[in-house]
Amino acid sequence: MTPSCAVLFVCLGNICRSPLAEAAFRQEAKKRGWDIKIDSAGLGGWHIGDPPDVRAIREAKKQNIDITHYRGRKVSTQDFTQFTHIVAMDNENLSRLRALSPQNSTAHIALLMDYVPNKAGQEIADPYYGNEKDFDRTWEQVHEGAIALADHLEKQS
């Protein structure tokens, strides 16, 4: 059964971590046969309208996922009522999301790794100034997080 939820993944630039988290979660939702709203956004506005970072595109391609059509966008006030779950990559994202959260927000805001048993509070490090190994590590983490989040939503529904 498809859970009644809509999930937004958030990082700083919306070109590295959150597009990879979106890709991993879309893959997981597809495996489970779910038809739900999934998106990603950034807290900064530098990459609005841009495709993901070439290294993130390459990482997704290694997993047989095409993310070249993804486009960067900034988190908006409406996101807090249009998504049931807003999922941050690090603590800085989390506190900025909480600060932006309007009074009528209905979204549950948490770190992606909060959904992974024994990994609550862990962050997904920004690979922007890193290398291919860092992007491999990002994929491992968002993939683990995506599966755990899907398990959580399945239990909730």
Active site residues: 11, 17, 126
Query: Which of 8, 126, 141, 153 touches ligand 4NP (CB under 6 A)?
Result: 126
Alpha-carbon span 101 to 15, nearest angstrom: 22
Closest CA to 70 of 84, 82, 59: 59
- Measure the CA dihedral 17/19/25/28, to 10°: -110
Q: Per rule CB under 6 A, is residue 27 in the interface with ligand 4NP?
A: no
| Region 77-116 residues binding ligand 4NP, contact defined as CB under 6 A | none
Report the nearest approach of ligand 4NP to the CB of residue 108 (Å): 21
Residue 17: other Cβ atoms inside 10 A: 34
Residue 154: other Cβ atoms inside 10 A: 13
Q: Which stretch binds ligand 4NP (CB under 6 A): 13-21, 28-36, 61-69, 99-107?
A: 13-21
Query: Which of 123, 128, 130, 151 touches ligand 4NP (CB under 6 A)?
Result: 128
From residue 74, alpha-carbon distances to 59, 100, 132 in Å are: 23, 12, 26
Report the nearest approach of ligand 4NP to the CB of residue 109 (Å): 17
Residue ranges in contact with ligand 4NP by CB under 6 A: 11-17, 44, 46, 126, 128
